[in-house]
Amino acid sequence: MASSQERVVAVILVGGPTKGTRFRPLSLNVPKPLFPLAGQPMIHHPISACKRIPNLAQIYLIGFYEEREFALYVSSISNELRIPVRYLKEDKPHGSAGGLYNFRDYVMEDNPSHIFLLNCDVCCSFPLPEMLEAHKRYGGMGTILVIKVSAESANQFGELVADPITNEVLHYTEKPETFVSDLINCGVYVFTPDIFTAIQDAIMQRNDRANLHRETSFEFLQSATKALLHADFVRLDQDILSPLAGKKVLYTYETTDFWEQIKTPGMSLKCSALYLSQFRHTSSHLLAGGGDTRCATIVGDVYIHPSAKVHVTAKIGPNVSISANARIGAGVRLISCIILDDVEIKENAIAINSIVGWKSSIGRWARVQGDGDYSAKLGITILGEAVAVEDEVVVINSIVLPNKTLNVSVQEEIIL
C-alpha cells in the first residue's frame, strides 16, 4: 500500500484556437482535442491512460479555449472515470512550462509527490505506470518518454542523448540543424514538484539578463518590451530541459510501442487506426464484432457508435470509426475512414482514406477517396461539415470546406 502522502496529479496541455490551423476544416467545428479518434475524443486517450496511474488525485486540462467548449466533456469524463477532471483556462499562451507554472497553486493543491505532464496531440500507448516506476528508480527530478525514430525524421523533434547505462539525459536539443540522436522526446513527462523551482529559476535568470542589458535606452526599450511580452512565456524544451541536461536530474524512459504527433487531419486518420488496433488489447468491447449474421460484414478493427444504423449488406473496415446517428446504406463499402455524427452514406457508395464531416451526405454510387498518404497535404479526402456529394460523383484527394454541394467530380482540389 502506498503511503498516504504519495499522490499523483496529471496535467494535459490542450493548446487553443490560434493553434490547430493545420487541422482545418475539422477544427472549425470542434476544438481539436475533442475531435474523435477511434470514436473517442482525441483527449480521451491520454485521459483514460491516466486512470491507470496509482494514487491519481486529479487531472487538469490547461489551454486557452473557452471553458464552455470543454464543460460538457469534462463533466461526463469525470463521472465516467470517477476522477475529478478540471479545465483551467489560460488568459493567453504561456508556453508548455509557463502554463504549468501559471496554475501551480491548483496543481499543488493535493500536495502531490509526482506530476505527469502530457501533450494532447500525441498518440501513443501512454505507459504511465511503468514510467512512474522507472522515475522512482532513477530518483531524478524528471523522466521523459522517448522513442527511437529514423535518423531522417529525427530533426523534426526534440533530440536527446542519453547515457545507455543510467538513462540520464546528457544533451537535449530542439529540432536541431544537424543530426544529434535518433532518440526523440515524445511529449510525455513525469516530474517531482521541484519542476516549479526549475521554472521559477529560469524566469528569474531571464529577468536578471534583461536587467543587465540596460546599456542604451533604445536597446533597453527593445529588451524591456520583449521581457514584458515573454516574462511568463516559458517553453519546457528550450528553456527548462536543455539547460538541465547533463546535471543528473533528467532521465529517459523508452517506449517501443507506437508514437505519432497529431498535427494534421491525415495524421488523425493514421492515429485512429493505431488506437483501434490498441483497443484489441485494452477495450475489445468497443470494437464491432463481425460474427453476427444480422450485422454488416466487418473487416479488421472497426468502431460503430451504438446509435449508428449500418445496413446488413454494407462492408466496413479495416480502420473505420462511425460516430453517432450516422446512416450507412445498402452495399456501402468503407475502408480507412472517420465518419462523423449524422452523416448519411447512400446505397453502393464507397469511401476510402477519408474523413466525412458532421451532417454530410454521400449519394448513391458516389466515390470519396484519398491515396492514404497521411503526411501529404492532399493525401486523404476531407469533407467539412454538411457537404453533399451527389449521386455518382467522384471526389479524390480533395479537401471540401463546409456547406458545399458537389455535383461534378473533383480530383486534387481544395474547394473553398
Residue 352 forms part of a structural domain: yes
Do 235 and 96 sit in the same domain of this protein?
A: yes
Q: What is the DSSP code (8-state) at residue 47?
A: H
Return the pLDDT at 81: 93
Do 292 and 245 sit in the same domain of this protein?
A: no
Do 21 and 143 sit in the same domain of this protein?
A: yes
* Domain boundary pick from 245, 261, 277: 261
Return the pLDDT at 6: 87
Do 289 and 254 sit in the same domain of this protein?
A: no
Q: Which helix (H) or strand (E) holds 245?
A: none
Residue 278 forms part of a structural domain: no
Do 218 and 291 sit in the same domain of this protein?
A: no
Residue 379 forms part of a structural domain: yes
Do 256 and 358 sit in the same domain of this protein?
A: no
Residue 314 forms part of a structural domain: yes
Residue 280 forms part of a structural domain: no
CA atoms of 130 and 222, how far apart (whole Å): 47
Q: Provide the number of structural domains found in the chain.
A: 2
Strands 114-119 and 183-191: antiparallel
Do 232 and 320 sit in the same domain of this protein?
A: no
For 248-260, b/e burial (b = at least 16 CB within 10 A) is: ebbbbbbbeebbb
Residue 266 forms part of a structural domain: no
Do 331 and 218 sit in the same domain of this protein?
A: no
Q: Which domain holds residue 337?
A: 285-415
Residue 118 CA, distance from chain mean position:
9
Q: At what angle do helices 194-212 and 95-102 cross, to 10 degrees?
A: 120
The parts of the chain modelled with pLDDT lower than 50 are 1-2, 227-229
Residue 178: give its domain's CATH number. Answer: 3.90.550.10
Return the pLDDT at 152: 82
Residue 33 forms part of a structural domain: yes
Q: At what angle do helices 217-230 and 194-212 cross, to 10 degrees?
A: 160
* Domain boundary pick from 261, 293, 323: 261
Do 71 and 218 sit in the same domain of this protein?
A: yes
Do 291 and 249 sit in the same domain of this protein?
A: no
* Domain boundary pick from 211, 245, 261: 261
C-alpha cell of residue 376: 501529404
For the entire predicted model, the pTM comes to 0.91
Residue 314: give its domain's CATH number. Answer: 2.160.10.10
Do 200 and 308 sit in the same domain of this protein?
A: no
CA atoms of 16 and 14, how far apart (whole Å): 7
Residue 117 forms part of a structural domain: yes
Return the pLDDT at 221: 55
Return the pLDDT at 151: 83
Do 17 and 125 sit in the same domain of this protein?
A: yes
